[in-house]
Structure 1
Amino acid sequence: MYLIPEQKYQRIQKELILATIALCCVFLLGTLWYCLVEGWSWEDAAYMTVITLATVGYGETNPLGNRGRLFTIALILTGVINIGYIVNLFTQAVIEGYFQEGIRIRQQRRLMESLSGHYIICGFSRTGRQIAKEFRAEGVSFVVIDSEVESVQRAQTEGYIVYQGDATLDESLLRVGIERAICIVAALPSDAENLYTVLSAKTLNPGIRAIARASTEEALQKLQRGGADAVISPYITGGKRMAAAALRPQILDFVDGILSGSDRQLYMEEFLLEPAYCPFVGQTLQKAKLRSQTGALVLAIRRTDGNLIGGPTGDTVLMPGDTLICMGTAEQLRSLNQILGPIVSQKLRKPKQS
């Protein structure tokens, strides 16, 4: 179904309201004239106005002079023009799906208001579509925002929650619940737009994690200075992956399989240690026995100060706020999630089913 842009929906709605108000004013004017100038009762004045505007041809309720008949002619013309305009707007609204669009927009707004702990994808180009595909595979809640009607159509066709608007504007970000989101991905085609989006997002929600796309080295540095937590350059990343595929193909295939879950055997997941829920905070890995209890392997630990401990030993102490980067099967990761209190994943999801 063809989508009517929200701006057009609002314009038609406004015009219908104004036309209805104008018709009410014409009715009031006619009633006041017949009542105050012609000296009729309120009932006769209102009845005469209605049959005049409706052009039913019942005739005069009471005798009219030349002045009254001239006013009636003007009232008929005004009413016909006004009613014709309303009928034309109504017909246009029906043909172009105004009422269906109104229902869709109201449902969309309610859905946007209910979102919490979600991800925001800005831009539904080739990069944005791939990100949305990965998010759907991971089972996380997200919303797409794009200013192009064609992109919005495509996103809705694929079943995504989508909002049509300019991602660089605060109003658009507020519409998609930026203050309740945990991550925003700026995948717009322009580096300047991505920078504006990151700046707006960080202003509206300082705690949000911002990921941005950069086309050049200079844009990458500016986005980092603008507050982006991670900046990805498709050209740099693509070049590194191609080099890795040429030099270490087996390692690359293994890592890709774990990250995407394409092999359906091993997965990687990250978990945030919360002192209120995790009973192992303050213990060493050896004492916690996470590997022997679940079979999952702790690959690395990210401290709250940003320090990364790769390949932690049994003497490594689990501290409050640590993020565990673990690898294992879906069942092993679910078991790890349960014994940690349960521990809360930063992605707010469970490992995918195998």
Structure 2
Amino acid sequence: MASARHPFPPAKRDPGIRRDLGLGVGALLGVVLIGTLWYHGVEQWPWVEAFYMTVITLTSVGFMEVRPLGERGRLFTVALILMGVLSIGFMVNRFTEALIQGHFQEGIRQRKWKKQMEALNNHYIVCGFGRIGRQVAQEFQAEGVPFLVIDQSAEAIQVAQELGYVALHGDSTLDATLLAARVQQAEGLIAALSSDAENLYVVLSARTLNPRIRTIARANTEEALQKLQRAGVAHAISPYITGGKRMAAAALRPRVVDFVDGILSGRDRTFYLEEYELAAQECPYVGQTLGKANLRTRSGALVVAIRRADGQLIGGPSGDTLLQPGDLLLCMGTAEQLRRLGQLLYPRL
């Protein structure tokens, strides 16, 4: 299992480069110290002149000796040059290799990733980056919804990062991984793992860490659907059952299916479906009829249905339908029409 302590995918680079660079810098500083001590202690030069002589010797700038040197001093200077050449050559070699392997770029990438993680708030967590998880991530990106991908496969995480997604390498069934994904600040969680047991475990862990989180889970069997629903999942979805129903609908009502797909997903949509929950303290239209509120004329958006707080669904509500606290309005319109409707319903936000 992947460890949540190291959620970022391991970089493909030589782990000894940083150590070697440190050794090279240390060796060069040691050579400078040796040269300075020699010229000061043996040649009896002042500290500044001793340090200056050491630096111009190691850098080979071609300046004259600070003071005349005897045979012993010149032999030491030759040895100092050789030690400096070896130290600098070693550092240049390792620095070049670090650049080639992307050592420094990797550090920058990890810092950027950490900032992205720290900025996550009211986001969605997508557990599993298989075929379903990738489709979910694609839809979230198209909607501009903040989200995070978790997967145990380093290759899957690499693909997610190449697509520009914030990704976490780890086991989503572990509390430590969910905490690293900021589950306590998350709005929702998508359990899209291939195993029903793992999806159930993820949902239970997430709801324990964040009781208010909204969970949607994949289920492969009808039994798993029932268990996930008993576990408190907001929506348990079987790709096979849903896919079969959609195929039948596409065969019987193809234009309806095309229209619904067009307003539910995709980047190039003209119309959108959106839901708005009415709160007595925030919405000025609670207690009014739909006709008196006149939301259609004021925003251009159409109220398609209303779900009451007790679960009652009112399809195609009329102008006499009373807006009540806790109502969930399902509305359709363009992005601009829905934006105006949101401003009408939540003027204080």
Calculate the TM-score normalised by the size of structure 2: 0.70
Aligned in 2, Cα 1:312/1:183: closer, same or farther, shift over 3 Å?
same
Equivalent-residue separation in structure 1 for 2:193 and 2:332 (angstroms): 32
Match of 2:170 in 1: 165
State whether residues 5 and 149 of structure 1, in contact with CA within 8 Å, keep that contact through their aligned partners in structure 2. no
State whether structure 2 residue 158 is matched by structure 1 residue 153: yes
Name the amino acid aligned to 2:111: R
| Equivalent of 1:342 in 319, 341, 347 | 347
2:225 counterpart of 1:220: yes
Over residues 149-193 of structure 1, what are the superposed CA-to-partner deviations in whole Å (9 max), with x where a residue is unaligned? 110000000111111111111111111111111110011111111
Structure 1 215/90 Cα, relative in aligned 2: closer, same or farther at 3 Å? Answer: farther
* Amino acid corresponding to residue 226 of structure 1 in structure 2: A
The aligned residue for residue 109 of structure 1 is 114
Higher RCO, 1 vs 2 (CA within 8 Å, ≥6 residues apart): 2
Q: How many equivalent pairs are there?
A: 275
Of 131, 142, 145, which residue of structure 2 is paired with 1:140?
145
| 1:208 partner amino acid | I
- Per the alignment, residue 202 of structure 1 pairs with 207
| Runs of 4+, deviation exceeding 6 Å | 89-95
When residues 231 and 317 of structure 1 are mapped into structure 2, their CA distance, relative to the original with a 3 A threshold, is same
CA positional deviation for 1:7: 7.4
| Alignment correspondent of 1:29 | none
Question: Of 321, 328, 331, which aligns to 1:326?
Answer: 331
Separation (CA, whole Å) in 2 of partners of 1:343 and 1:324: 18
- Cα 1:287–1:5 change in 2 (3 A) is closer
Taking a change above 3 Å as real, the CA distance of residues 289 and 5 of structure 1, as seen in their structure-2 partners, is: closer
SS of corresponding position for 1:280: coil
CA distance in 1, matches of 2:314, 2:176: 41
Matches within 5 A, 1:69-80: none
User: Which is worse superposed, 328-337 or 242-251?
Assistant: 328-337
Q: CA deviation at 1:255?
A: 1.2
Q: Distance in 2 between matches of 1:288 and 1:258?
A: 25
Q: Is the 8 A contact 1:274 1:343 kept in 2?
A: no
Q: Is the 8 A contact 2:142 2:267 kept in 1?
A: no
The aligned amino acid for 1:231 is: A
Q: One-letter code of the match for 1:150?
A: E
1:187 alignment counterpart: 192
SS in 2 for 1:287: helix
Change (3 A) 1:116 1:262: closer
Structure 1 unaligned spans of 5+: 24-88, 345-354
In structure 2, the CA distance between the partners of 1:149 and 1:132, relative to structure 1 (3 Å rule), is same
Question: Is residue 249 of structure 2 the alignment partner of residue 244 of structure 1?
Answer: yes
Cα RMSD (Å): 3.2
Task: Give 1:340 deviation, angstroms.
Answer: 2.0
Contact (CA 8 Å) 1:296, 1:333: kept in 2 or not?
yes
Pairs within 5 Å for 1:11-90: none
- The alignment partner of 2:261 has SS state of helix
Q: Distance between the aligned counterparts of 2:97 and 2:171, measured in 1?
A: 27
Q: Give structure 2 stretches of 5+ with no counterpart.
A: 1-5, 27-93
Of all paired residues, the percent bearing the same amino acid is: 62
1:261 shift after superposition? 5.4
Residues 7 and 170 in structure 2, CA contact (< 8 A), matched pair in contact too: no
CA deviation map 1:256-286 (0-9, x unaligned): 1121256733211111223333211111111
